Amino acid sequence: MLKLLAAVMALVLPTAAMAQTPEPAPIEVMVLGTYHMGNPGQDLHNARIDPVTTPEKQAELEAVAEALARFQPTAVAVERIARDQSTLLDHRYPDFTPADLTTNPDERVQVAYRLAHRLGLARVYAIDEQDREGQPSYFPFEDVQLWAEANGAGERLGAMHGEIATMLADLERRQATETVSQLLARMNTPERVRWDQGFYARLMTFGAGDAQPGAVLNARWYARNAQIFARLLQVARPGDRIVVVYGSGHNYWLRQMVETTPGFRLVEPAEYLPTS
């Protein structure tokens, strides 16, 4: 009987000790999808963005930074490739000064650097992944286009282009009546994020049999976002509150990866961004 009791206790005590071990503090991540404020013209579709270096827009961006600061971020991550992949620190941020805000329209400067500087953060990370020489493109849209033209689906693909053009035209018009905060809040609603992803998902209808360029594009796009998120995992610490400032096209997968990764919690920008 004593041997049996000892065996039971040997099983119970380690379990009880494990139960008392506190879990690490969750890592809270806010994914803030943005439009490209500097008009780099590098996307498949590009909007004409009003200058954000004017006094009026600068006041609006200050309001955005003030709102995001209420989240009390401990780190910021941006869409840039880090020179040092061991630290993933953004090599351009140390040279930032507030004077840059009136000359450099880049959203990384206007939103991410502004916020980090306001809070005195040193941890600004560059977590991007881009096409590499000798490897397949992360966005092989030309293959989709060629398949559509060769298989009588060019008009259907053109209609999808038209939907994006309409959406961007709406963004261009709203700049005259809405603040930067309102534009960003609208861009980051779950409904809008799902709509954006729908464009990528519908590209999987362009293909047949062994030729599936739409599916390949989606797979490669996911692969790029997975590499981006993997870098975020490298720098995140228990208890962190991280703001990820990225082009809105990355919104869906980055949000999904945060939501499905143990120890992480997604924070909605709408909880902080003023809508008036």
Task: Give the separation between CA 220 and CA 226, rounded to whole angstroms.
Answer: 10
* pLDDT averaged over every residue in the chain: 92
15 located within any domain: no
Whether 16 maps to a domain, the answer reads: no
In a domain, 276, yes or no: no
Range of the domain at 161: 24-271
> Looking at the predicted structure, is the pLDDT value of residue 250 above 80?
yes
Classify residue 134 by its DSSP letter.
T
Region 162-189 average pLDDT:
94
Closest CA relative to residue 137, chosen from 45, 49, 248, 218: 218
With 80 as the cut, is the pLDDT of residue 219 above it? yes
- Helix (H), strand (E), coil (C) string for 50-85: CCCCCHHHHHHHHHHHHHHHCCCCCEEEECCECCCC
What digits encode the pLDDT tens for the residues 223-236?
999 999 999 999 99
Residue 128 in domain: yes
**Cα distance between residue 55 and residue 112, in whole Å:** 19
Going by pLDDT thresholds of 50, 70 and 90, the confidence category of residue 197 is very high
pTM summary value: 0.88
pLDDT beyond 70 at 17: no
Say which DSSP state 169 is in.
H
β-strands 264-267, 241-247: how paired? unpaired
pLDDT of residue 247: 95
pLDDT digit string, tens, across residues 177-188: 999 999 999 999
Which residue bears the tokens 């282009």? 161
145 Cβ contact partners less than 8 Å away, ≥ 6 residues apart: 157
Number of domains in the chain: 1
Extract long-range pairs of 268-272: CB within 8 Å, 24+ residues apart.
Answer: 268/30, 268/188, 268/190, 269/30, 269/31, 269/32, 269/68, 269/184, 269/185, 269/188, 270/185, 270/188, 270/189, 272/30, 272/67, 272/68, 272/70, 272/71
Can you tell me the mean pLDDT for 50-75?
Answer: 97
184 found inside a domain: yes
Q: How many CB atoms lie within 10 A of CB 65?
A: 20
**Does residue 195 belong to any structural domain of this protein?**
yes
pLDDT tens, residue by residue, 102-153: 999 999 999 999 999 999 999 999 999 999 999 999 999 999 999 999 999 9
Question: Which pLDDT score, from 0 to 100, does residue 6 have?
Answer: 52
Answer yes or no: is 18 within a domain. Answer: no
- In this structure, is residue 224 part of a structural domain? yes
